[in-house]
């Protein structure tokens, strides 16, 4: 996992259990990949979901939008780039781009909007110590 200019990079090898009978990645698996990339992006800033939960915060996905462009297939190596698109006191929007590094084909783009909740699942605000680590950047690709 690397990070450059506010973009974290996670690589993943498509395994057989993620594909359908045609050997193409099942569409819902991308959401799992985005969760993994988002978790690693937070970790790269010095935060983790576990740390946020210890502090009494929860990040719950409120919206997800995916644009499938080309299929990922069994045994492909994929790269998932993740970044913060927008940040408010009670919401974080992450962007994603999935590519096949061998030929740099853009496979999918997406965004997820996460709500900030307290441990009782009520809306709350993230403290400045957290938001200071999450800097929004312009999208590196068209979503």
User: What does the pLDDT read at residue 86?
Assistant: 98
Give all domains of the chain, ordered by start, each with its CATH number. 2-131 (3.10.129.10)
**What pLDDT is stored for residue 102 in this prediction?**
86
Q: In what order do the strands lie in the sheet with 7-13?
A: 2-4, 7-13, 77-88, 91-100, 105-118, 57-68
In this predicted structure, the answer to whether residue 1 has a pLDDT above a threshold of 90 is no
Catalytic residue annotation: 20
User: What does the pLDDT look like over 54-111, one tens digit per residue?
Assistant: 999 999 999 999 999 999 999 999 999 999 999 999 999 999 999 999 899 999 999 9
What pLDDT digit, counting tens, does each position of 95-130 carry?
999 999 989 999 999 999 999 999 999 999 999 989
């Amino acid at each position: 996992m690397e990070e450059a200019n506010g973009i974290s990079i996670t690589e993943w090898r498509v395994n057989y259990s993620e594909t359908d009978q045609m050997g193409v990645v099942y569409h819902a698996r991308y959401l799992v990949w985005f969760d993994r990339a988002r978790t690693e992006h937070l970790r790269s800033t010095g935060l983790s979901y576990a740390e946020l939960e210890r502090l009494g915060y929860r990040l719950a996905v409120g919206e997800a939008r995916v644009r499938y462009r080309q299929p990922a297939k069994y045994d492909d190596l994929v790269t998932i780039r993740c970044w913060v698109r927008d940040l408010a006191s009670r919401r974080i929007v992450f962007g994603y781009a999935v590519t096949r590094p061998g030929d740099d084909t853009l496979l999918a783009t997406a965004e997820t909007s996460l709500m900030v909740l307290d441990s009782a699942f009520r809306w709350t605000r993230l403290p400045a110590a957290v938001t200071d680590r999450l800097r929004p950047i312009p999208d590196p690709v068209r979503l």
